[in-house]
Amino acid sequence: MATPILDFDALAQTISGRTVLCIGDIMLDEFVYGEVSRISPEAPTPVIAAQRSEIHIGGAGNVARNVASLGARCVFVGLVGEDDAGKRLASALAEYPGIESALVCDPSRPTTRKVRFVSEHFSTHMLRADWEQALAASDDIETRLIETILPLIARADIVLLSDYAKGVLTARVIRHTVDAARQAGKPVIVDPKSLNWAIYRGATLLTPNRKEFAEATRSRADSPQDIVDASEDVMRLADCEAILVTQGERGMTLVPRNGEAVHVPAFPVKVRDVSGAGDTVVAALAVSLAAGADWDTALRMASAAAAVAVGKQGTASVSAAELRRKILPHAYLAAEEKIVLEPGALDAQLAEWRRQDQRIGFTNGCFDILHPGHVKVLTAARAACDRLIVGLNSDASVRRLKGADRPVQDERARAEVLAALEAVDLVVIFEEDTPIDLITRIKPSALVKGGDYTREQVVGHEVVEAAGGVVVLVDILQGFSTTALVHRARGGAK
């Protein structure tokens, strides 16, 4: 069966109108980054010279962050202590766009806090220190949680339970929440921690990782078929519609109660940090399903979101724009990413490339009908620099230079074709007859033109050379001319 096309933009627009009720164990995540300098003389452990630290909303709070950053609204219910960490979390949630929090305070327990010490050079976690009380909430606090949760279900399109086994999702809280959600016709996703999946009975989808699934089902879970075989009994026990098993670099396997299992391979990606990747997966699933996506589409969204998350440091959230770039093919995105349309975008990109010590090259033309001669010049131009900017004559400019019957293609079409070429890093449309103002603004390290010009004929050569750059002339490919191609296409002589 062919994989259906994922209309990301339409789905993202629907997601923006959805609300996810997220309930679970919030924690304060702190990452201390530094360099390993030596081994401690007191114990055979590495000593990290701390250089910087970052604070993140972690645990179920990170699920909420991801829901909001993916474009949906998140109503979050969690438990904090009456301490500094709890105040910091409440303040951070209040400032986060798209999140509405309803935190229950329990003065008898500390807010869960985790501090990770990470080697900056190797991106390796050396040590984690935890401050927590992983005990079930008291009867009093359970009642307050339930009274907070139940009125919020009517506002949600989907309910997400993020269980970190820190005391929020007791059997009683889960039961009241799932039953109320089912009665209201709202799907429930559970990221489980307990191995007794009977307590989640009635949820729509369970999302264990491979280790959790293997322990709960007492199976090896070495392959998608192993997962399918082991899922039947536990789905009956949990009375759920489907189980999704996340398997890191092995991908994800979804087993629905009715229908065929679906396996989605992981995106090839350089892993920097897996902290919070599971949070990103369940958030992407929740917003996709809330927007009416089918299982296959929701899985593809979740897999792409996980690939973005593990490529970042720390407890990461993923934006809709990042997810879009991961899902859609590069050629589809080329025009949006490479064509300068917004004021200031060129200067911002130039500044970024210069910070990276990139050599910037420039060439220009009308590029009305792209042919092998153009490709040769553009490829050679890219070889002379690290980043190639192409100046493109606007439609009005082409008419003045070539006549009233040109261009054959408008400036947007010509820009999109250029942007799709691997050799081109940026396309800038200019209105003047020559690109001298653009060259003066860019001051490229290399100014490239075809060999049918002399150095003195190349517009902007004085500007470039005065700034220490060079003019590069590329031998043209004989037999190719846009004017001749247009003439032939319009029925002229060969």
List the catalytic residues.
Answer: 279
Q: Is 416 annotated as a binding residue?
A: no
- Count the residues in the chain: 494
Identify which of 11, 26, 19, 7 has the alpha carbon closest to the alpha carbon of residue 67: 19
- What's the Cα-to-Cα distance from 326 to each of 72, 318, 322, 362, rounded to whole Å? 19, 11, 6, 29
Q: Is 337 annotated as a binding residue?
A: no
DSSP state of 162: E
- Beta pairing, strands 188-191 & 158-162: parallel
- What's the Cα-to-Cα distance from 330 to each of 4, 325, 386, 408, 419, rounded to whole Å? 19, 8, 19, 26, 10
Q: Are 238 and 218 in contact (CB under 8 A)?
A: no
Q: Is 210 annotated as a binding residue?
A: yes
Q: Is 387 annotated as a binding residue?
A: no
Beta bridge partners of 393: 430
Q: Are 280 and 22 in contact (CB under 8 A)?
A: no
Contacts of 367 by beta carbon, 8 Å cutoff, 6+ apart: 374, 390, 392, 414, 417, 418, 482
Sheet holding 446-450, edge to edge: 426-430, 387-393, 360-365, 446-450, 470-474
* Binding-site residue set for ATP: 209-212
